Structure 1
Amino acid sequence: VTLARDGARAVTLAQDGARAVTLAQDGARAVTLAQDGARAVTLAQDGARAVTLAQDGARAVTLAQDGARAVTLAQDGARAVTLAQDGARAVTLAQDGARAVTLAQDGARAVTLAQDGARAVTLAQDGARAVTLAQDGARAVTLAQDGARAVTLAQDGARAVTLAQDGARAVTLAQDGARAVTLAQDGARAVTLAQDGARAVTL
């Protein structure tokens, strides 16, 4: 027990070895209620860290700055929940692996409510894709840009309905295979209401 100054230390109630409790300055540390090793709880500055209620290893909970991180309520490994900046990420409520739910930027992704693998639901940019409500495999429904296509309401396989440009075509209401109806220019044709094969009617 020390109730005195000892170097920079104003008051110390602790052991000098592991230091169970320290109410003092120790380097940059204003107040520390912790062990120096893993540091169970720290109410102090430690580098850039304003306040830390956590372990230094996996960091269970951190209310502090740590690099660019404003506030983090998470583990550093898989990161269960993060309310903070981490790279470009403004706010993330997710796991870093499969990412169950993400409300954040991650690359070009504005907002993602999805898994990264099959991506059940995505409300975000992903490459050129503005908004996707779909699975990445067959893609049940897509409201987005995909290549040159302005908007697609369709499956990616046969693509049920497309409201978009596709090559020179201005607007297409059709399936990609035989293309049921096309309202567009195709070569010299001004407007075509037809199937792509024999083309029933051309205006």
Structure 2
Amino acid sequence: MTSLKLRDLSNNEFTSIDDGLSSFLFGNNCILKALDLAYNYDLGGDVFESYENESMSCIRYDLQVLKLERTSLGTRIPNWLGKFKNLQSLSLSNNTIDGSIPASLGNLSSLEDLDLSYNALTGAIPTTLGRLLNLRKLSLRWNRLEELGEKCFIQLENLEVLNISHNLLKGVLEESHFANLTRLNSLLIGNNEHLSLDMKSN
């Protein structure tokens, strides 16, 4: 079905994907714009599989929306997700994804909504996320992230919602971190025991 633009398989009881998720994305589905597998609670396992060394079948991919929330993914975020330059919305929330956030996500220059909340991500919030100039919503809450890059958010002028609450972040957030975020209307940073603010009262 090489002309298919939308695959909505959400809210089912799938327990596996033959050949892994990469077969859905890297085959001949060059014009696929949206893939929704959310709320298949027992999908689980490593649906991403290892696809790092495989060649891409299409010169360009049109994928704009990828929803995998609440699918019990017990894996890491693969570097190859950074190849989908047209991706506008990526949701991997409410899984058991561990490991670090790959720097390659900074290549998703069209991304507007990134939700990696309610997982077991560790390490640092990569400074490459600061290249996502179209980002409007970023949710990293309820993980185990520990480090906050000094220039993670400073260039995200379109950011409206930033949620980094309920992590293990440490350090100091200063006014300079938010100097360019003129559209920011929601900032959630609570439940980071070693994270503090250094800002003027006004």
* TM, length-normalised to structure 2: 0.29
* TM, length-normalised to structure 1: 0.29
Bigger-Rg structure (1/2): 1
Instruction: Give the number of the structure whose residues are more often strand, by fraction.
Output: 2
Instruction: Give the number of the structure whose residues are more often helix, by fraction.
Output: 2
Structure having greater relative contact order (Cα 8 Å, sep ≥ 6) = 2
